[in-house]
Amino acid sequence: MFSWYRQVTAKERKTFWACFSGWALDALDVQMFSLAIPALIAAFSLSKADAGLISGATLVASAIGGWFAGALSDRYGRVKTLQITIIWFSFFTFLSAFAQSFPQLLVLKALQGFGFGGEWAAGAVLMAETIRAEHRGKAMGTVQSAWAVGWGGAVLLFSVLFSLLPQEMAWRVMFVIGLLPALLVVYVRRSVQETDAFLAGQKAAASKPAASTLLGIFRPDVLRLTIIGSLLGVGAHGGYYALMTWLPTYLKTEKHLSVLSTGGYLAVIIVAFWCGCIASSQLLDRIGRRRTVAFFALACVATVLCYIFLPLSDTQMLVCGFPLGFFAAGIPASMGALFNELYPSGIRGTGVGFCYNFGRVASAGFPVLVGHMSDSMPLGQAIGIDAAIAYSLVVVAVLMLPETKGRKMETSA
């Protein structure tokens, strides 16, 4: 399964671990918020819609950050942009611990999201341009599995802190720990090299104004890819965030699970998410990008509907949690390789950052909508309806994109 790792160079391995660590620490910071939603509602007297608004604002900011960071990576380098974005999102996660009001928390979480979206864009292009074509799907999918590692760390941290500390203090300590990812910059500066693809086109890119880099993805020759790729991002993120933002609250408030029991349910989904990423990484280089994404999206629709709407017992829900996490992982694990292979080098960072993160702009409405719908129906039903619609959109979009398996980055167009 991991035999490909022994076939890559030292440069490819160092870049792999830098991106893997970056995504794991990203997930740690982001998932801490969804776990802390009940405590934040109590601390600031928020409604579910207010909590959804914070999540939505973070997603919108991350989309803007991803687009801009992608453009910066096309002009100034993948590695430099990666370092800046890591420091950015770590710093604002830390500041969120000291928020004294709902407006303050809203602004700080939005600023954190700006850096989070940028980190994914820069890291995805860096990894895709460094790894060889025959292993790109496996490497990108495995890097995405780092999300499960960070997610698991967040759940563990949540369980420990909320068991040992008062609720009003525990969530602040969680956000303080969010400063840790900044230490990754030390490793990136010392060990990770700029990609050959970027260096080869650096002179040409330097002569272009910033506006041409940002808007290059809307040229007639790539406009169709940008539109369809963005729709794919909308569906993928919409389903994921509708489900994962509200799942801890759903388990706690409607299933009446204790904190540690909620962590146990999430642990099953998190392990399944990691397994799904690894499975997707293998399928990407075997059956191709389109078939892999379509398979996981269809499976997500069926699994979400069963998980939310069937009258399952606690034990049955625990068992069904594994396929839920497994299939939810396959789509994000596929998008890094697919989006990178759609664009030529000069606008690759911009294209990847826009398509992946544009989905966050539109998908930001899904968590907000879940919050509003839960005022007139059970929270579980609201989550299920939104997620099923979003994953159906993924199927439609991916069938309109070309297959890019094995495509050389320098000839992508």
What tokens were used for 12?
A: 């490819």
Confirm if 140 and 281 have CB atoms less than 8 A apart.
yes
The pTM score is: 0.81
What CA–CA distance (Å, rounded) separates 319 from 340?
35
Domains along the chain with CATH numbers: 9-186+218-405 (1.20.1250.20)
| pLDDT (tens place) for every residue of the chain, 413 residues total | 778 888 888 888 999 998 898 888 888 877 888 788 888 888 888 887 787 788 778 878 888 888 888 888 888 888 889 888 888 988 898 998 898 988 898 999 889 888 888 888 888 889 888 888 888 999 999 998 998 898 888 888 888 898 888 888 898 998 888 888 788 877 887 788 888 777 776 655 555 555 566 777 888 888 899 999 999 988 988 887 777 777 767 767 776 665 445 566 677 878 888 999 999 999 999 999 999 999 999 998 888 777 777 777 767 777 777 887 899 888 988 988 899 998 887 888 888 888 888 877 777 777 778 888 877 788 877 887 888 888 888 999 999 998 888 787 754 44
Reported as a single tens digit per residue, the pLDDT across 317-376 is 777 778 878 998 889 889 888 999 988 878 888 888 888 888 777 777 777 788 888 777
What CA–CA distance (Å, rounded) separates 230 from 381?
27
Mapping DSSP onto H, E and C, the string for 12-55 reads HHHHHHHHHHHHHHHHHHHHHHHHHHHHHHHHHCCCHHHHHHHH
Q: CA geometry: angle at 355 spanning 353 and 358, to 5°?
A: 90
Residue type, 10: A
For residue 115, which phi and psi values (nearest 5 degrees)? Answer: -75, -35
Transcribe 68-99 into DSSP letters.
HHHHHHHHH-HHHHHHHHHHHHHHHHHHHTT-
DSSP letter assigned to residue 343: S
What tokens were used for 133?
A: 């074509």
Confirm if 267 and 151 have CB atoms less than 8 A apart.
no
| Burial annotation 219-233 (CB, 10 A radius, 16+ → b, else e) | eeebeebbbbbbbbb
What tokens were used for 160?
A: 């420990």
User: Environment class of residue 146 by beta-carbon count within 10 Å: exposed (0-12), middle (13-18) or buried (19+)?
Assistant: buried
